Structure 1
Amino acid sequence: MFFMFERRYKSDGHCIGIPEFDPPSASKLRWELPDECIQVIEKSNKVAQALLNDVDLRLYVHDGYGKGLMKKFRVSPDAYIQMALQLAYYRDAGKFNLTYEASMTRLFKEGRTETVRPCTIESCAWVKAMENPHSSSKERFDLLRVACQVHQRGYQDAMCGKGIDRHLFCLYVITKYLEVDSPFLKKSKALTKTKKS
């Protein structure tokens, strides 16, 4: 076995040898689409363009501080940004909202993503303290640190397969496929909110 690998690969790991066949030359694909299909494509394109035109994006360069300060305060930069988004949304909308952040599940074969929910009891407590003029800076900072720790733990749990969104969604899909009623899934407010976000 070792002899086989030794003959086929160089010491740097690259393959030895010349391909036994030439790759086929590229050719342009020519589509023959019926008029009905072209109309659907054009209609979808108009919808997509309308959505694109409805976006108002402004970029601001913030150079007052960066991740170095966050790390100095022993706060995860990702969690810090997620908390800032929670505060910004609350100030804009006047309420909390179920928020989605993707977490990679690369620890598992064919792992894709799991959901992290930045809007937690702890993040809400911090946001409320930020909006309360009677809260001290120390109280706000302590609540921020706790909210960031909870977020970081949730992110790590999601990476390790301990998330809940994908599990609940799969159970929901299976019950629909098998046409089985699940009182738990029907009554679950969390699942209802999860499906909407």
Structure 2
Amino acid sequence: MPNDAPTGHPDTRLIVVRGNSGSGKSTVARRLRLGHGRGCALVEQDHLRRVVLRERDLPGGLAPDLIAQVVRFALDHRYHVILEGILFTGHYAPMLAGLWRAHRGGSWCFYLDVDFDETVRRHGGRPQRDEFTAEDMRGWYRRLDLLGFAGERVVAQESTVDETVALIAAVTGLPQDGCDEDVHVRRP
């Protein structure tokens, strides 16, 4: 269900990190959040879809609406948000476009462009390597599944994790001081 109500504040940041399975999205998103410290929410598509809802990623699923609600909640409470996931354009573009339009602060989207063979190689070193196969990954793989948003950036597979985190932090202005002081949230 679309929600076009404004969300967030002029000083909140919405950072979307997308890409195929094994492209490094989770690693980059977690490092960004860790580098910022408190006041930055990490919203992981897989956790909400697979763990909370135990839902397959099919058209008409509940995951896009749940993701949008969680993102809005965090933004409305003055948290920056890093949303990461495959977020297939076919299933998630309307939800992402709605968040993009509704967010009062800055919004950025980064697509980690990693070729299929490299995603399989990287998957071999992940803790979840036994949860799905290279053939499963082939079925999910979409080459440059871009949203077409103004300013959407493609990050090449040659970019290291450190370089990618530094790029996203620089482009978005997300501080990376690792500050862990208490967050004082102002209720709207």
The normalised TM-score by structure 2 is 0.23
When normalised by structure 1's length, the TM-score is 0.22
Higher helix share: 1
Give the strand-richer structure, 1 or 2.
2
